Amino acid sequence: MEKDISKYFKDAAVKLKEANQELYKPAEDVVSYLVCQKSQHAIENYLKGYLLKHEIDPSGFDSIESMYHECLKINKEFEKVDLSDFTCNYIETDMAYCNDINEVSHCYELADGLNTLLRKEKIIA
């Protein structure tokens, strides 16, 4: 199980880095959908890794929001990264939403906030 936890956290970090690299390209070169998709993938994997670390199977959750609420029950520090109305699912995302640079930046900031929180809590290095 430790291997699965590590895989989720490693994958999340890779996706966050890829989103960051995409976000900081010149504006005309940014593919905002990629930033959105990679950020959401990072968020999902950070939450899955955290749940597994606490011996909770993440496969029983149907959304990022439901995983977030479970993480919040475990650790109130998750309030610092407010995903309570994060209903976006990159598989079913409205392309117009992902083309708005403010929304895309918000997705990235949430993923980065989870990364920061998990580092502060010494869950990841």
Q: Sketch the domain layout of the chain as residue ranges.
A: 2-120
The predicted pLDDT at position 7 comes to: 97
The CATH class of 2-120 is mainly alpha
pTM of structure: 0.87
User: Residue 77: which of 42, 48, 113 has the closest Cα?
Assistant: 113
* 91 pLDDT higher than 60: no
Q: DSSP code of 54?
A: T
Task: Return the structure tokens found at 26.
Answer: 């010149």
The predicted pLDDT at position 72 comes to: 96
Give CA–CA dist 97/33, Å, rounded: 9
Q: What angle do helix axes 2-23 and 101-120 make, rounded to 10 degrees?
A: 140
Give CA–CA dist 60/23, Å, rounded: 32
